[in-house]
Structure 1
């Protein structure tokens, strides 16, 4: 089995990117799933929709138990002529003191609804819901980023409670003095919470992978629940631009087959520089499968890399 690289959408790679040259000497496979959640579902057998709240809470604190959880990620929403758009979610660069200050007026609001707000980390918050709470289908952030929020709010009578709650959250955060200071400092405001990923911790998660290397909390949470290894990516070092390769098990003398290396959140330029020495080395030594966020997949074996007569057609 090959090592699998999870990469950004193919369209992000310019024609002169070194990865394009690698594709020219690889074999095209059938397309795989498109998008973040679909790709995760393809690698892991877990309930759908994925109970991201319970999984990520369990990874971080180990106390998900059998409770009902919901992600409540700090977010930036910007009004426009047609409503409002979600511009950022879950990566707001909050210090713990700022996160606690923003959460303070929200705690009683959620308590009135029978919910408990938990600051799992400054940028990742969770709601613990009362047993039996009916939760409508909420889209994941990737499905709503950049789009009109009216298209993604829960509809109908069962969604009314959540629409009112969402509006009250935005009012409280919009008025928070911390957001005025963030805007003055050139930082985006944290003026909303994105609710998604409802559910309980699944009893079992299955996968054919042996391990993952990733910074993504949900991917690592799925790996942990499936009982396989999960490692954080090694940060890029200025003195050693190839330092991320140290995170790959083969570098530590362990077999790397069946491992998934998550690069899908990185800029194409970062892959061309800091990550390319690792990718090139792996491609010379062992079979690779390249899976793009846009669905395209290629198989690359060490011997086909001598197919120098192929034109770069990827």
Structure 2
């Protein structure tokens, strides 16, 4: 087997805490090449490896295609169920989609009450997956700038609503949807069973499906909905294995959901470094959501004057 190149997509350093790596891993990381300032955040990280054509970021269309296979021919907008908590300064977004423990019964109860509102506005709503709700729009629809939920969690809701003349319509629709959900008896049952109420929607990710996606890797292994959608369009999608494995060509492993530094080192970094030493890998790239890429190669073992790294993920 020809030695390949492996890339691990890692979370931002703050997501893994301050746990120090083992001595062997710290030495290898300290001797590696580091590039910084490549673009922070999940969007920038994925677009370093998967390139939609034309270049845009239509999350809703990508996940819709993966969920239902019918994204072509329309524009799509995520309208994910969410929990908003009023406070003295306004309201805060506390949970979105799958984090709220939705199941098929929740969608079956709540969606019929919302369908007249959005159907009359010319944008049918449905949910092929209980935690991901969609609005279907004409392909030529002009949408305002919406905030991704990860950027708004815990923050003041009103700072992240769509602005400007185009945003006014969406703020109105959101207010009407909140009234419908607030008054729905199903939410009382959710609260009685110890689950949070679904009292709002989060609009985000609008756009049309790309013509195609150009990948930088022969295989992209991910359980993430957006990365999986991009990789599926590129024809290189694979499920994420339980631990590191090698293959021919370039392999990308999406570990952004990882939060345990010990598991990251045990199941991924140490096996990858072993493969590098055994010449099963030509190079190993660690791409963090902080916009930093660390590259490890066999020849770096002679850089004995370098100090060991203090953290697994470079910020």
- Give the TM-score normalised by structure 2: 0.85
8 Å CA contact retained: 2:28, 2:308: no
1:176 and 1:17 mapped to 2: Cα distance?
50
Q: Give the aligned partner of residue 97 of structure 2.
A: 90
Give 1 or 2: higher strand fraction: 2
Q: Tell me the CA shift for residue 199 of structure 1.
A: 1.2
Aligned residue for 1:2, secondary structure, equals strand
Aligned residue for 1:45, secondary structure, equals strand
> Is residue 113 of structure 2 the alignment partner of residue 105 of structure 1?
yes
Aligned residue for 1:4, secondary structure, equals strand
Q: Give the aligned partner of residue 5 of structure 1.
A: 8
Q: Give the aligned partner of residue 271 of structure 2.
A: 281
Q: Tell me the CA shift for residue 103 of structure 1.
A: 1.2
Moved more, 204-213 or 272-281: 272-281
8 Å CA contact retained: 1:49, 1:197: no
Aligned residue for 2:51, secondary structure, equals coil
Q: Tell me the CA shift for residue 134 of structure 1.
A: 2.8
How many equivalent pairs are there?
Answer: 296
Alignment partner of 1:258 out of 244, 247, 250: 250
- RMSD (Å), alpha carbons: 2.3
Q: Tell me the CA shift for residue 184 of structure 1.
A: 3.4
Q: 1:61 to 1:294 in 2, by over 3 A?
A: same
1:110 and 1:116 mapped to 2: Cα distance?
6
Gaps of 5+ in 2: 277-282
Q: Tell me the CA shift for residue 222 of structure 1.
A: 0.6
- Give the TM-score normalised by structure 1: 0.85
2:271 and 2:222 mapped to 1: Cα distance?
19
1:306 and 1:88 mapped to 2: Cα distance?
48
Q: Give the aligned partner of residue 238 of structure 2.
A: 231
Q: Which has the higher contact order (CA 8 A, sep 6+)?
A: 2
Aligned residue for 1:290, secondary structure, equals strand
Aligned residue for 1:133, secondary structure, equals coil
Q: Tell me the CA shift for residue 115 of structure 1.
A: 0.9
Gaps of 5+ in 1: 235-243
> Is residue 76 of structure 2 the alignment partner of residue 69 of structure 1?
yes
